[in-house]
Amino acid sequence: MGEHISIARAARLLGLGRRELCERLRRAGIDGFEGAVELDAVKRISPKMALDAHLVGERVRLIRQSARRRQAVAPPRKKEAELQDELDRLHNQWLAERKRAQEYHVLFDHLIDELGRWQNAKDPDRAKFALEFSQWLCKAFD
């Protein structure tokens, strides 16, 4: 038996109404108990939650990795002007990458929201596809 989360909290984390999340859970055949549901079950139907959990783990990994590198032998010192040039170049590169990442994040959020609407579709084929695709996305980020 895995970790449980309240349905209300899961709905807030996903930016959904409680009723909509309950409907998605019902369509996916996921039962709750006393207003709570298994966290892994919610992740299976919601790529957004799986993605956020994945990003937290990735941040921790990167912090640990960079901390180990800092303990290595220091390279020869550069002059202040060289350091400033390198810093400016890296900052501009980071700004461009950040903008691109934000655009992808917005696109992915729209995709996830649309999948959520499809999971509640009256057409059973569309709802089934949306559920299966959501589960596939969640596995891709594990």
- The residue-averaged pLDDT of 23-43 equals 81
16 vs 97 pLDDT, higher one: 97
CA triplet 11, 52, 116: central angle to 5 degrees?
Answer: 45
* SS3 of residue 38 by DSSP: strand
**Per-residue model confidence as pLDDT tens digits over 42-68:** 777 776 665 455 554 455 566 666 665
30 vs 122 pLDDT, higher one: 122
Output the CA–CA distances (angstroms, integers) from residue 80 to 9, 46, 83, 86, in the order listed.
50, 48, 5, 10
